[in-house]
């Protein structure tokens, strides 16, 4: 069976799009964001496999590092460097502030027909965090549905709301699966397979 062509933009275009949006919509500047990316990269990628020469520092060295790291990120975003390495993509996405990070991860997962489910830390307050995420995502879905259902029906006139409704419903399903993962972890080893 031959698959029909379905071309997707490069993964890096998704990451750069959310980065540009974040820089435009927040008070974050490119150099400060580059430092956050550098910190994530240096903390999560083993020294012997690093391909990107990020720098950290203090005092005057910090200013030079910010400038150098900012230039490195700009080279990726403006196309001077053509391919975003996978290890840098992870650090880059992790450095995005929360609303942008979740949306970026959702869109990256959606490319393969998957959902992005946040890992909830194993802590005493984890069930409350999971329940809060579930309630928040449900509220955001209702908020997205409200203008579409204002006339009492869902039809072609509601197309402008469709993308947001789908995104919010994906986020709700991911939060629900995250909560399900917590409950499944409570079951004895043999029972977890039946959950």
pTM of the model: 0.75
Comparing 53-57, 60-64, 115-119, 142-146, which segment has the lowest mean pLDDT? 115-119
- Asked if residue 144 has pLDDT above 60, the reply is yes
Half-sphere exposure of 176 (CA within 13 A, CB side): 9
Task: List the chain domain ranges.
Answer: 11-96, 126-192
- pLDDT tens for 157-193 read 999 999 999 999 988 988 888 888 888 888 887 555 5
- pLDDT tens for 4-52 read 787 888 999 999 999 999 999 998 999 999 999 999 999 999 999 999 9
Token digits of residue 149: 């259902």
More confident residue, 1 or 25: 25
Exposed/middle/buried for 104, CB within 10 Å: 0-12, 13-18, 19+?
buried
Instruction: Give the C-alpha separation, 66 to 3, whole Å.
Output: 46
Instruction: Give the C-alpha separation, 103 to 85, whole Å.
Output: 20
> What is the model's pLDDT at position 122?
67
Residue environment code for 130-160, b if the CB has 16+ CB neighbours within 10 A, otherwise e: beebbeebbebbeebbeebeeeeeeeeebee
> What is the model's pLDDT at position 123?
67
Instruction: Give the C-alpha separation, 174 to 153, whole Å.
Output: 26
- Asked if residue 120 has pLDDT above 80, the reply is no
CA 45 vs. chain centroid, Å, equals 19
> What is the model's pLDDT at position 193?
55
> What is the model's pLDDT at position 182?
81
- pLDDT tens for 65-119 read 999 999 999 999 999 999 999 999 999 999 999 989 999 999 999 888 887 877 7
| pLDDT classification of 146: cutoffs 50, 70, 90 | very high
């Amino acid at each position: 069976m031959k698959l029909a062509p379905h071309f997707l933009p490069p993964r890096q275009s998704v990451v750069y799009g959310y980065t540009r949006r974040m820089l435009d919509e927040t008070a974050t500047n490119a150099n400060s964001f580059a430092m956050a990316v550098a910190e994530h990269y240096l903390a999560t990628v083993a020294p012997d496999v690093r391909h990107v020469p990020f720098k950290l520092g203090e005092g005057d060295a910090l200013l030079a590092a910010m400038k150098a790291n900012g230039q490195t990120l700009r080279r990726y975003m403006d196309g001077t460097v053509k391919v975003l390495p996978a290890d840098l993509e992870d650090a880059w996405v992790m450095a995005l502030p929360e609303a942008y990070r979740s949306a970026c991860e959702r869109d990256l997962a959606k490319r393969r027909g998957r959902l992005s489910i946040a890992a909830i830390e194993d802590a005493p307050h984890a069930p409350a965090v999971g329940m809060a995420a579930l309630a928040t995502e449900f509220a955001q879905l209702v908020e997205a549905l409200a203008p579409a259902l204002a006339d009492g029906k869902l039809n072609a006139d509601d197309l402008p709301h469709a993308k947001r409704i789908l995104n919010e419903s994906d986020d709700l399903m991911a939060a629900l699966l995250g909560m399900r993962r917590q409950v499944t972890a409570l079951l004895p080893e043999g029972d977890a397979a039946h959950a």
